[in-house]
Amino acid sequence: MTKLSVNINKLATLRNSRGGNVPNLLKSAKDIESFGGQGITIHPRPDERHIKYKDAQELKAVVTTEYNIEGNPIPKFVDLVLKLKPTQVTLVPDAEDAITSNAGWDTVKHKDFLVDIIKTFKSEGIRTSIFVDPDTEMVRGAADIGTDRIELYTESYAQKFTLENSEKAVKPFRDAAVMANKLGLGVNAGHDLNLDNIGFFKENVPNLLEVSIGHALICESIYLGLENVINMYLHRLK
C-alpha cells in the first residue's frame, strides 16, 4: 500500500489567520495519525507564514508515524532538520516568496550542491528525497547525486487529468517512476493530488511508496470531515 503523509500547512495557515492556537496543530497531528494517517508533512518557509520553526520542534515530540520536513535547504532550514532528525527530509527548490512549490530540481545543473547537502543529511541517518519533474533525465540526475527517493511534482498531472485524458496525463509520471525503480530510487509524489485523481495515479505509477497531500485533503475535509477523508484516501491507496 502507498503511504499517506498529510501535509498540515493549511491548518497552520488557518490558525495564524486569527492568532492564538486554534486549530491546535499538535492535537491535529495526533488526530490525523489516530484516523489512519501514516505520516505528517510540514513545509516551513523563511517567513513562517504557515508552519513556524517552533511548530516543527514541537511536532517532533508528538508525531509517532513518519515525520517529513520539506523545504528549500537554506542554512536555517538545514540547521532545523539536523537538529530534529525527522524520518525524511524532502528538498524543494522554491523561492522564498513562492506561494507554493512550482518546479522540481534541475538535478544536472545543481548536482554539486545537492550531492553535498544530501551527504550532510544522510550522515545523520535522515532519509532524503528531492522534488523533481516527471523527466527521466532529472531522475537519472537524482540517482547520480545519491538521494534515497524522489518526489514527483504532480501539478501537471492534476491539471491535465480527466477520465478521457487520464492515460496521457499519467504517462510521464509512469515513465519517470519506471526509470527511478531501475536506478534503485524510491518514489514519492505530491502536489494537487485529490480524491478524484489519486486512484488512477496510484494504479499507474509503479512502486509508489508515499504521497504527501495537504491543500486538497484539508479542503475536502471541510465538506466531508477529516476522519472520513483520510479513510477515503487510504482506500484509494490500497
- 191 annotated active-site: yes
Q: Which of 33, 50, 66, 191 is catalytic?
A: 191
Contact 134, 142 (CB under 8 A): no
Cα-based distances in Å from 155 to 88, 107, 160, 170, 194:
22, 19, 9, 11, 11
Q: Which three cell numbers mark 197?
A: 485523481
Q: Which three cell numbers mark 219?
A: 479542503
Q: What are phi and psi of 209, to 5 degrees?
A: -85, -35
Q: Which of 33, 66, 70, 210 is catalytic?
A: 70
Amino acid identity, position 3: K
Rounded CA gap, 227 and 238, in Å?
A: 17
Q: Which of 33, 43, 151, 210 is catalytic?
A: 43
Rounded CA gap, 133 and 7, in Å?
A: 20
Catalytic site residues?
A: 43, 70, 191
